[in-house]
Amino acid sequence: MTYEPKKKGTVLIPSGPRGDTRHLFVILTDKCDKGYHLIANLTTVQPHMYHDPTCEIRAGEHPWVRHDSFIMYGMIEVIKSDKLIDKVDGGEYPTRADVSDGLFSRIRNGIMKSRHTKQVARDYYKKQLDAEANKAVPKDRKK
């Protein structure tokens, strides 16, 4: 069966300088009309090193999270849906459990709050929120 990326879904994506580490990425938006998603990664909090405190995640808040972590808003990516599908179906990006509604809400709320979020990610997210709001309005109520 072909993988279908969706909001709250998670995938393990190789990252780091050599690509030998896998970080858990959360899919923050459904596919846009141009075929993209917004994704953000969780990174382990390191003692005595700065981390973005906007959205801290405690060990156990998601089954994959074994250490206190945070969302690295400065590294949010816009990624092609087809790439996610190909990489998951090809076994390169294993999927993990969806994040809870509460955690998902905290992560998304932090996109606009974090001073580290790049403007391109903010703009994309705002557009997606508008698109989601328009989908929620019944057709007979749209102007």
* Percent with pLDDT over 70 in the chain: 93
Tell me whether residue 61 is exposed, middle or buried, using C-beta atoms within 10 angstroms of its C-beta: 0 to 12, 13 to 18, 19 or more. middle
Centroid of chain to Cα 113: 15
Q: pLDDT, tens digit, for every residue of 29-53?
A: 999 999 999 999 999 999 999 999 9
Asked whether the predicted pLDDT for residue 131 surpasses 90, the reply is no
Q: What topology does CATH give the domain 10-136?
A: SH3 type barrels. (2.30.30)
